A and B are shown apart, each in its own frame.
Chain A
Amino acid sequence: MPEITYRQAINDALAEEIERDENVFVMGEEVAQYNGAYKVTEGLYDRFGEDRIKDTPISEAGFIGMGIGASMLGLRPVMELMFWSFSYVAFDQIVNNAAMVRYMSGGLTHVPIVIRGPANGGTNVGATHSHTPENFMAHTPGLKVVCPATPYDAKGLLKTAIRDNDPVYVMENTLLYGNKGEVPTEEYTIPLGHAQVLREGRDVSLIGHGRSILTALEAAGHLAGEGIEAEVVDLRSLRPLDIDTVLASVARTHRVVLVDENKPFCGVSAQVSHMIQEEAFDELDAPIRRVTSLDAPAIYSDPLEREQLPNPRRIQEAVQQVLEDAPRAAG
């Protein structure tokens, strides 16, 4: 299986879907002639022309609204946000219109739109460019949200998102665009709402999504050196959420550390924590602990921002804490 970058995996998914379905087109700031702010759409304008790859003015509210209108008429727009942080200027379109049209039309009108782009901190670009609004989006009935962590998932989930008849928001990560991973050359898709166990372990479940789960995987490697077997569960899709895979893991380990680049208050992990205690109360041997971004605007200082985001050391400390909360059987 060839190894390609996360960026290339998205590019391939876009190209394949544009070829497969004439209704699919890409629209966003600098996606066409400039090949994308992060070069995700590189080469697509040359290959597919201006009917399928559209540059837009710098007006998220305007062009996202245009995309929603197009999707209501049967097209399948894939909108690029240069940063998901800029979704805030188009909040009404993204959260109010896109999410509500199907319901308010009595199911007569679908909104098969995809909005994708990076949603991450950790790049020292300042507080207004570092938001992770997956919790805002997943909060809203009518919206679907996926956060691929690997090239394989990025391609498979994006293709499924494009084929879905409801708005699906794909949260990528600028720090992952250069990551390489195995991606099959043959056609595949990944259904929404399927979490994945990235590493098996019996002592604690590390559960999260996006780049954080890769950080958790790294921490799990360090923990293994200390004789602690951490299971790592990548949610992949936040809504729909595969709580069954999460609960099965909790039933194996009985200890939970949630890892989340969201801020702690009303973050994704707060929801997951609630669902675990509700569905698997009797499986818990210790209080659920979380490693989230520290509750402050993204810190501009590079070293401080690295400490603000979940990192392996903070995850390892949280694991040690749950093992103190509920020590393992001696011997």
Chain B
Amino acid sequence: MAEIIEMPKLSDTMTSGTLVKWLKKEGDTVTNGDKLAEVETDKATMELENFEDGVLLRHYVGEGEEVEIGRPVCAIGEEGEEAPDAAGGGEGGPSEAAAGEETAGKEAASPTEEAAPESPLIPAEPAAETTASTGRRKISPLARKLAEEHGIDPARLTGSGTNGRIVKADVEKAVAEGVPAASAEPAPASAPTAPARESVREIGPPPAPAPTPVPQLESREEPVSNMRATIARRLLESKTTIPHYYLEIEVDMGPLLDLRQSINAGLADLPPEQGGARFTVNHFFLKACAEAIRRAPAINSTWAGDKVIRHGEVHLAFAVAVDEGLVTPVIREADRKGLRQIAMEANELTGKARQKKLTPAEMSDSTFTLTNLGMFGITSFFGIINPPNAAILSIGATVEKPVVVDGALAVGRRTTLGLSADHRVVDGAVGASFLQALQTVLESPSVLLV
């Protein structure tokens, strides 16, 4: 009897996952512990682990499809066994699976079609895209029918109905105002006029009358990825529900940069087994924050509605820009770790972040967050608080500037630090004492080494 593998809940907030890539093909022999597929959740790309022994009989979903928790993704059984229909639950299940099958079939067949030059007019409508774009989008039955009639891809519409459901009025508006048709294939040369297009204006580069020397920007609409949706939801919630206030302090980075240079000079060229390492300014900031929080612990809190949680550990999150947005991996118990340990963990987490391999656990439970735009030359800014933190530190670029030292003009190396704090938990004086502690630690950085 074949086992139907369903989409598991891979994170607390996950409601669906996108099957990014199949790692096992239909017909592959699989054993307990194999990775079946890569799944993108709202937080990370994770591997779908297999617990069955047998043969992967059938994929119920194609790559790129979004799958709700509990819906079937594949079947595993004995060799030669027929895969059951995906009877995994509510409406639309089996038919979706069937659509996926059909898609796979068409894809498999397409090379043959392409290889037949005498039949260039075979409709090249990308079935996979149609399936994916109409998949789980909320659209009223009537609007769906109208969109199909007008050749409009519902993925490109914005719904005005309840919960963003696309309704008749939205389709009619799109027809009137113009939205690209679902099939955006160029018209065959033998058919210079395309009457079906008359009412549907395409967004895109207009046919250029003469070759343009400069590449032009193109208008397009992109579906919202899980990560983008999570960022949007969390930051909107933060900025609209947390009373942010902002403090700024300038730090003399001279001593820290000298210290870093001296440490790197001694360690960077050594092999790892002899303690070789290379430290970035960020590593020092992370360590300095952990140290400063020890000195001004009230910043390390959470507003929980009817109570304030004062955290007993410092879990430092730091923002890492990735292709589609950003993630905030967490160094746990940073207050109990040395600079070397923090640097090592930060490097590992940053690498995982860029490959979208962070696990939800590696992004959970932060108590304070750092963000740094210094590498872009931004001198000062204020990040949005990363809930449930009470504050976020924004690190600007270190710049050389004239400063007055002991009554004389000198060249200083200065960084401006911004603190955005939640006034429900952290009053101005508390935020200020934290920044002051941080300034002290950064300007006397040798304390970071003990």
**CB closest residue in chain B, given A327:** B160
Please name all residues of chain A whose beta carbon is closer than 8 Å to the beta carbon of B169 when the two chains form the complex.
326-330
Q: Mark A232-269, 1 if CB is under 8 A from B, else 0.
A: 00000000000000000000001000000000000000
The distance in angstroms between the C-alpha atoms of A323 and B168, with both chains bound, is: 12
Contact A286 B167 (CB under 8 A): yes
Does A285 reach chain B (CB closer than 8 Å)? yes
| A282, CB-defined interface residue at 8 Å | yes
Contact indicator B165/A325 (Cβ below 8 Å):
yes
**Is B357 part of the contact surface with A, judged by Cβ < 8 Å?**
no
Cβ of B141 within 8 Å of any chain A Cβ, yes or no, is yes
Complex interface: chain B residues within 8 A of A286 (CB): 140, 161-162, 167
Contacts of A324 in B (CB 8 A): 161-162
Contact yes or no, B141 A325, CB < 8 A: no
- The A-B contact count (CB < 8 A) is 46
Interchain nearest-CB distance for A223 vs B (Å)? 18
Q: How far is the CB of B144 from chain A (nearest CB, A)?
A: 7
CB pair A284–B165 under 8 Å, yes or no, is: no
Asked if B168 and A254 sit within 8 Å, CB to CB, the answer is: yes
Chain B residues, Cβ within 8 Å of A188: none
Is B308 in contact with chain A by the CB < 8 A criterion?
no
Q: Let me know if A281 is at the binding interface, CB within 8 A.
A: yes
* Dominant SS among interface residues on chain A: loop
Q: B145 at the A/B interface (Cβ < 8 Å)?
A: yes
CB distance from A320 to the nearest CB of B (A): 12
Q: Is B142's CB under 8 angstroms from A285's CB? A: yes
Is A283 an interface position by the 8 A CB rule?
yes
B317 interfacial contact with A, CB 8 Å: no
In the bound assembly, the distance between CA atoms of A326 and B138 in angstroms comes to: 12
| Residues from chain B with Cβ under 8 Å of A254 in the complex | 142, 168
A326 surroundings in chain B (CB, below 8 A): 140, 161, 165, 167-169
Instruction: For B172, list chain A residues within 8 Å (CB).
Output: 329
CA distance A324 to B169 in the complex (A): 12
**Docked complex Cα distance between A306 and B167 (Å):** 35
Residue of A282, A325, A330 touching B161 (CB-CB under 8 A) = A325
Q: Mark B147-186, 1 if CB is under 8 A from A, else 0.
A: 0000000000000111001011100110000000000000
Contact B162 A325, beta carbon cutoff 8 Å:
yes
A284 to B167, CA, bound (A): 9
Cα-based distance from A326 to B165 in the complex (angstroms): 8
Q: Are A282 and B165 in contact (CB under 8 A)?
A: no
Residues in B with CB closer than 8 Å to A329 are 168-169, 172-173
CA distance in complex: A110, B162 (Å): 52
CA distance A327 to B162 in the complex (A): 9
The interface residues of chain B lying within 8 Å CB-to-CB of A283 are 141-142
- Interface mask (A291-331 → B, CB under 8 Å = 1, otherwise 0): 00000000000000000000000000000000011111110
Contact A284 B161, beta carbon cutoff 8 Å: no
Output the nearest chain B residue to A321 by Cβ-Cβ distance.
B162
Q: B167 and A325: CB pair below 8 A?
A: yes
Nearest neighbor of A328 in chain B, beta-carbon distance: B169
What A residues does B143 contact at CB under 8 A?
285
What are 12 A-B residue pairs whose CB atoms fall within 8 Å in the complex? Answer: A254-B142, A282-B141, A282-B145, A283-B141, A284-B140, A285-B168, A286-B161, A324-B162, A325-B162, A326-B140, A327-B161, A329-B168
A interface residues with partner B (beta carbon < 8 Å): 254, 281-286, 324-330
